[in-house]
Amino acid sequence: MSRLFTLLAALLLAGCTSGPRIDSSHTAVSQGPRVDLLVLHYTVLDFPKSLFVLTNQVVSSHYLVDVDPPTIYRLVDENKRANHAGISQWARRTMVNMSSIGIEIVNNGYVDGPNGRVYTPFPPHQIDAVVALVRDIVTRWGIPPERVVGHADIAPGRKQDPGPLFPWKRLADEGLALWFDEARAAALQPRYEASLPDLAWFRQRLAQFGYGVPLTGVDQTLDKATRDVLISFQMRFRPARYDGQPDAETAAILATLTTP
């Protein structure tokens, strides 16, 4: 009798902890994957310090890619939030930690010296590992190329990573990120040299691409927020010169990226 009572009690307890019965026979049309953005960073630290910071402090990332050997470390499960983006915005969505995957790349960032700012290059074998990881992530989550971005894209002015030496065109050639039609941009540039669009045009096109740029309450004076966005854009698509000035070459590149 005692054994029967124990069995019945166990079954009753299991029933109480199994949760409510849920009917899953209906499916909403308006839905999508939780993750729809991939953000690339550099660490500004060597590997031991990067690993310590990303595993023991408030900041974290889903992945860390070392240099030599180019080992990929998973630090946060993709189904969980990592605190890699901070105050951020892309395509009108703010605080993108909740909907993004972050990849930190071990790299020293930049050093300011007497000849200006010098960035640390990425070794080819490390980029090979990053490309393989990006391809795997975007394939599994269905992330389109226009939603593979850098930290500087989602936090202009506050962040510069992955910097002007990151090979965005390599990712674009692999079908993993966006690049512009260089021939078309070269053909458009003389038109913009003859008649440069006003700042409102630049702001509207940058916002159309995805950047968080002020569209109201600003005039035709180049404000800091717009300049910061232009620097991030130029650093990615024209890394030879990222002065934040709305010039003809920048206009031509921006036009090719925002005009079907």
Residues 6+ apart with CB under 8 A from 177: 134, 145, 148, 168, 171
Nearest residue to 154 (alpha-carbon basis) of 76, 215, 93, 223: 93
CA distances from 228 to 95, 127, 141, 255 (A): 18, 26, 30, 19
Distance, in Å, from the CA atom of 122 to the CA atom of 67, rounded to the nearest integer, reads: 8
Separation between Cα atoms, residue 232 and residue 198, nearest integer Å: 19
Distance of CA 222 to the CA centre of its chain: 25
- The DSSP element (H or E) to which 225 belongs, if any, is helix 224-237
Count H helices and E strands in the chain, helices first: 9, 9
| Amino acid, res. 11 | L
Q: Where in the sequence numbering do the catalytic residues fall?
A: 104
